[in-house]
Chain A
Amino acid sequence: MPDSVLLSVRGLSKSFAGHQALAGVDFTLRRGEIHALLGENGAGKSTFIKTLTGVVRRDAGEVWLEGAPIAPRSAEAAARAGIATVYQEVGLLPNLTVAQNLFLGREPTRFGLVRTREMRRRATALLADFGLSIDVGAPLGRYPVAVQHLVAIARAVDLSARALILDEPTASLDTHEVTVLFGVMRRLAGRGIGIVFVTHFLEQVYAITDRITVLRNGRLVTERETARFPRLELVHTMLGHALAETEARAEPADRASQKESGTPVLQAEGLGKAGYLQPIDLTVASGEVVGLAGLLGSGRTETARLLFGAERADRGRIRLDGKPVRIAGPRDALRHRFGYCPEERKTEGIVADLTVRENIVLALQARRGPFRPLGRAAEDKIARDFIAMLDIRPPDPERPIGLLSGGNQQKALLARWLATEPRLLILDEPTRGIDVGAHAEIIRLIRRLCDEGLALLVISSELEEIVTYSDRVIVMRDRAQVAELAGSAVDLTAILRAIAAEAAPAPVPEPA
């Protein structure tokens, strides 16, 4: 049925400063279809959406909506043409009322004055259509994110959208809210609206979508019906491993496969936070590397942040050497000799204006407090030692760290935590965005630290990498812990299977 095609994209391309973010992507959305757009970080999903809706200018390619070519120059133009986008951060105005948001820019007027009562009546009627009965005269910001999403969707649909793009609408919703949203999505699809659904939650993909398109490195990898796309294959496709290939590449790890595990340094029991991370159990022993694997958004970073106190857990407890400790913030974690290199190096790691030396001593100095300064001589020595030990380049401790390459910044951040002589070090994507040489060095470093008796928790999207250095691997999916692999069970295939497993919670082997 060719006439069932609603939106057709052919050869969409976009490059930023020489980097091909989108390379000739084809995409087809049919009437009444819910279509998942999937891919890992940097796959090109958001570039695709932005290019499609004219937020950024496309380099090449064509977009047809209901058989007519369109070339919107802005999100508003795209919405007028019939393609509306609702982003994760809703993009409405929280200080205006619900009704004002719904009719922003098209308020019913009489003699140039806004007819507030008429607007509210129509807003109420519109939302009733979505099963939402709220006071439309109240500021939008007073309502939970789920309601704000529904309002944004209602506005988009009322603007005569025929294609609706939902960019991670469920990222901050709880289970019930997701159900409500899915109800609305099904109803809209029933009316013939085509919905593009971007998400990281595989459960949701299988719960609601009809079709899946996978992007990787800016290219279309595959487009298939959801029912005919087994999970395992989907995960392989997203991560870019051919099935046969993974078996061969799964390195026989050089770990002494039954390394007598040291004493547990950290034990987290039922640690979690409502709407953030489902309770997890986790043990890390000294001299052990525990890998946290999972797709983007699966709860890996969330786990790290709860452990370090960057986000406060509302359930469960943490034991250190068997004794319960309270971690209410990074300062508590630092006092207990935890270290945490966050994923967002630029925004959460480095202080760009400060020198390499100052960045390295920052955490150690923070633990000593402001009135026990290390002193310049000690700072110089620490900086020099770590610059030499980690081979930070250029080896100038007085250079602002912002001028260093990503890999060297990462090493300096590692140095910041190593200088505190931590017992537990959490590394979130330690090798992201750094060149190949530095990559290998950091992996060597992780192994060395572990040999020196440090307890390490490492998060990485590079599964091969996790397999090479982890003694145990904890697999996360949909913000929950789904499996734990230890010893010889740690291999690529097993991790992939765990990531792709069905919703029924996989048995979690108890680590003795």
Chain B
Amino acid sequence: MRVLRSGAPQLLAFAAVLLADRLASPQFLAVHLQDGRLFGSLVDVFNRGAPVALLSLGMVLVVATGGIDLSVGAVMAIAGAVAASLADSYPLPVVLAAALGTGLACGLWNGFLVASLRIQPIVATLILMVAGRGIAQLITEGRIVTFASSELAFLGGGALLGVPMPVVLVLVMLLLTLALVRGSALGLMIEATGGNARASALAGIDTRSVTVAVYAWSGLCAALAGVVAAADILGADANNAGLWLELDAILAVVVAGSSLLGGRFSLWLAVLGAFIIQAMNTGILLSGLPPELNLVVKAAVVLAVLLVQSPRLSGLTLLLRKP
């Protein structure tokens, strides 16, 4: 109950966006089962939103430490390229291990730059954001690498109990991250580090390891998102896979109510934030409005969210409420 109450604004926002979508497209909420998989616009929102939801699971932890990870889009491209290149020659576990391992390595690199070399997160991860896409192109040798492996394709197009695999993966990752972060004391340590790094270090928290861990997790989540994106299109496009998605992930985290200065975070709200964004995207596509409008609408939503969170504005509403 408490959890739901803390996410009330986001749940309301999600409901509002879905309602708007329903108004724009009467078929929006219709869901039907076909070949053992659910179809419909609403299902699409979750399916299409899955990569960003995966990214935001890592991003929300990074942001909670007061950092930011701009490289997740590029890491998606790298992991997708690795997965697509290996898919037809190796069994799926090997392919997944290679792709996720690459993502983990990217995350460790970011963590090393931020925690050990004390480079500002935005600059440290910018390095991989720029270089990562080049690395991905090196792996694909500048081509779009396609594959035929049905095992890998299943991760993008398959379904489990009717639920599309990408959505299943988001749920699995959400539960896994929750278990890892909230089941241990890592969550507390992440929030403490983001809230006051000096005090946390003096209280004996290994703030450096905490920082490395969140970037590593972000890399891992990004790699999984990259695999899902590649599996979806049966190929890896080093130029476009995950392009600008780091911004959507940051947006999702902000919509989830996290402060970019670090501190408190909520994993499930970050995932919800990703789906809110996707619901807007889908809605605009369905409404027949020009897709360019998408960006404007997103900007408006960001502004609305930030206004709601602004301490000055909340002071103002308090004043207004006073009789």
Contact = CB atoms under 8 A, between A and B. Distances in A.
Bound pair: A and B? yes
Interface of A: 308, 310, 329-331, 333-334, 340, 342, 347-354, 358, 361-363, 365-374, 416
28 contacts: A330-B204, A331-B204, A331-B206, A340-B202, A347-B199, A348-B198, A348-B199, A348-B202, A349-B199, A351-B191, A351-B196, A352-B196, A353-B263, A354-B188, A354-B191, A354-B195, A362-B188, A362-B192, A363-B204, A365-B185, A366-B204, A366-B206, A367-B204, A368-B185, A370-B184, A370-B185, A371-B184, A374-B185
Interface string B85-96: 000000000000
B195 A353 contact: yes
Contact of B184 (A350, A351, A373): A373
Contacts of A349: 199, 202
A69 B188 CA distance: 58
Given A334-B204, A354-B195, A358-B191, 9 more contacts: A330-B203, A330-B204, A351-B196, A352-B196, A361-B188, A365-B185, A365-B188, A373-B184, A373-B185
B150 interface: no
Contacts of B183: 373
B204 A351 contact: no
Contacts of B264: 353
Given A362-B205, A367-B204, A351 B199 contact: yes
A353 B191 contact: yes
B186 interface: yes
B114 to A, nearest CB: 18
Nearest to B182: A373
Contacts of A371: 184-185
Contact of B200 (A351, A367, A372, A373): A351
Contact of A362 (B184, B186, B200, B210): B200
B201 interface: yes
Contacts of A358: 188, 191-192
Q: Which of B184, B196, B210 gathers the greatest number of chain A CB atoms within 10 Å? A: B196
A329, A361, A370, A373 interface centre (most CB from chain B within 10 Å): A370
Nearest to A379: B188
A395 B200 CA distance: 23
Nearest to B191: A354
B170 interface: no
B74 interface: no
Contacts of A372: 185
A348 B204 CA distance: 12
B189 interface: yes
A308 B202 CA distance: 9
Contacts of B203: 330, 334, 362-363, 366, 416
Contacts of A374: 185
A414 to B, nearest CB: 13
A232 B201 CA distance: 40
Nearest to A375: B185
B284 to A, nearest CB: 36
A350 B199 contact: yes
Nearest to B206: A331
Contacts of B263: 353
Interface in B215-230: none
